[in-house]
Chains A and B, each alone.
Chain A
Amino acid sequence: MKRIAKANLAELLSAMAAEAKLYVPAESDGIVNFVSWQEGLAVELAALNVLVPPKKFFYPQTETVLKYEMGEDLQIEDFACKAGEKAILFAVRPCDVSSFAMMDKVYLEEPPDEAYRRRRENTTVIALGCTEPDEACFCQSFDIDAAKAPGADVLAVDTGEELALVAQTEKGEELISALNGLLSEATSGDENKVKDEQEKIADRYVTSVSLRGIKERLAGMFAADYWERLYKRCIGCGTCTFLCPTCHCFDLQEYAAGNCGERIRCWDACMFADFTQMAGGHNPRPSQKERVRQRFMHKLNYFPQQHGDYACVGCGRCVRKCPVNLDILEVIREAGGGTDGL
């Protein structure tokens, strides 16, 4: 374990930026997002969740897949093999770190998505442990330990005046040794302080849900009246899907002009009417009811059936940001999960 005074954070960031492209949470016009770090930028360490989840670094909202040109021959330029600059994500919250493992199940299973794989490989993730969840945080219900982040390369723990840094992977070790000049060795006192901080959080949640049996119960609820009641206030915007760290559905679009063109991949949302619109005009999810059902079924039934895990990490973004307060907490509770703590 290493440590550094928070007063020297700027030096640490500067040194990291020399190693790779560095992204940090920063506030602008009242909104905290991950942005590219530059000298003098104030890093926001207090905010729990940044607005747009860091999935965007591996699975960007918009990316070029290929470009083509029809001449004598068809020329195709592949962009996937160029993806993935060396990058460091600093201060990713443990719920978001957990979302990466979940996304890996989609994009790294055979056949892996090359662009995603390259970005994952070239990125070093530094997690920032949480000590004070807010009322919309319920990662604990998904067995995520918000004080730790086993999926991160480095875990940072805020101990007040200092940050403690623990390398958790080989990539993490490499980064820590590259920064060694700035770091001091942690003492056993520091280690105790970190342990204290990490233990505090378990009792600080005010919201939790029980997932026991939810997957099975939802399996029998496809035709339930429940969705009829639930969907009515959904306005069909993409807030929940775009801000969800585990939503991963995309659309492929052609931007063609003359004899050349570009194929892009962009985030899509199952809340949008055109998400399942067929070329002939048919839409298998004709109303918002089917779309809302799909979103929650996917997270709590289909995904766990296919991949073993729920497609939710309890980050609470949909709870905080849904304009009509239609969120996954409500569905877990009403579809038969426990209500303990709410």
Chain B
Amino acid sequence: MQQKVEGYPLKEYTTKICQIAKEALENREVTAIIGWRKKDFWWQSPVVFLEDPADVQQLVWDPFTIYSPVKFLLDWQESCAAKVGIFVKGCDSRGINRLLQDKRLERERVAVYGVPCGGKADAEKIRASFPSKEIKSVTLIGEELVLAVGEREERVKAEAYLLDKCLSCRHPNPVVYDKLVWEEVSPRQYADESRFARVQAVESLVTEERFAYWQRQFDRCIRCFACRNTCPACNCRVCIFDQAEPRWLGKANDPADTLNYHIIRAFHVAGRCFECGECERICPAGVPLQELNRKLIKGINDAYGDYEAGLDPTDVPPLGTYRGEDPAGFDES
């Protein structure tokens, strides 16, 4: 199948996004907009919050508008803005459904602008081929990444420079929105094949090797909690790991406690993780958290039939219900 990609000429994406934001603010449909802006370096497109229509020129859509804006809705809803307009990619939109299903978001207080997404770029992959210091800008045009490097322009096939998580993305188009910003893109080829590839690789290790593998991974964990803090599925009002009395998780960076943290985090999002992969991407220590999340997804699929979280907030999550035919019944002994 031919990959259908974002097909606008350069800069038109950004213009569209700015337009929608400007109109929404001017018409008072929303009191604030959450999108992305550009920062100092080519690889930085952080989330930005805007309330003044005059500021919408800050908004961008580029290969690095990766960070999910969704979890910020929790703070905004509690603090101020009557209605927030938010731009969401396919993965981000499933976070909206996550919050809705977890009853943490009032749907009528958000205007969702769905942004079909052809995948985001991996700065590390780009750095491996081009001198980072000399890169002025990176743009995605069709299936090509166009880089301004020093005085020259380089065009490369985008696929080789996309984030791994985007290569295994099954839902590049937003699954919930009030307005679609531009037309939908086709899901990526081979996304399904790569989805569980790493899980299977780890599964194929013998127990001792597998234990050593995870020990090595968790050994690098610095206990910063970025994986939890970024995750829209981690939306408890008070997280058990933050409780001092009783203290469920020791503050010492002890291997047993770190393992405990990671197991509980993974199990707590089991059946609720919608595979945005942000925990793994932003982990400063490179802990492959998506392998844990997908191992549990694979297990759920095997036990209860295929299920994908974050697609429909009214569905019945397999771990949130019990059916007589479920493989593991209640232990009556």
Using CB atoms and an 8 Å cutoff, list the residues of chain A in contact with chain B. 28-31, 33, 51-52, 61-62, 134-136, 206-207, 232-233, 235-239, 242-243, 251, 253, 255, 264, 266-269, 272-274, 277, 321, 323-326, 329-330, 342
Contact = CB atoms under 8 A, between A and B. Distances in A.
A31 B244 contact: no
Contacts of B5: none
B41 interface: yes
Interface string B17-32: 0000000000000000
B220 A29 contact: yes
9 contacts: A51-B220, A134-B132, A232-B75, A235-B71, A236-B225, A238-B224, A239-B222, A242-B222, A253-B252
Nearest to A264: B252
A42 B71 CA distance: 41
A61 B221 CA distance: 11
Q: Is the interface of B mostly helix, strand, loop or mixed?
A: loop
B216 A28 contact: yes
Interface residues of B, number: 36
Contacts of B47: 233, 324
B57 interface: no
Given A29-B220, A233-B47, A242-B224, A51 B284 contact: yes
B236 to A, nearest CB: 13
B44 A325 contact: yes
Interface in B203-237: 216-217, 220, 222-226, 229-230
Contacts of A269: 224
B182 interface: no
A238 B71 CA distance: 18
B253 interface: yes
A134 B225 contact: no
Contact of B253 (A30, A62, A330): A62
B216 A321 contact: no
A269 B242 CA distance: 13
A135 B133 contact: yes
Interface in B146-185: none
Contact of B254 (A62, A136, A207, A325): A62
Interface string B244-276: 100000111110000000000000000000000
Contacts of A330: 39-40
B284 A321 contact: yes
B240 interface: no
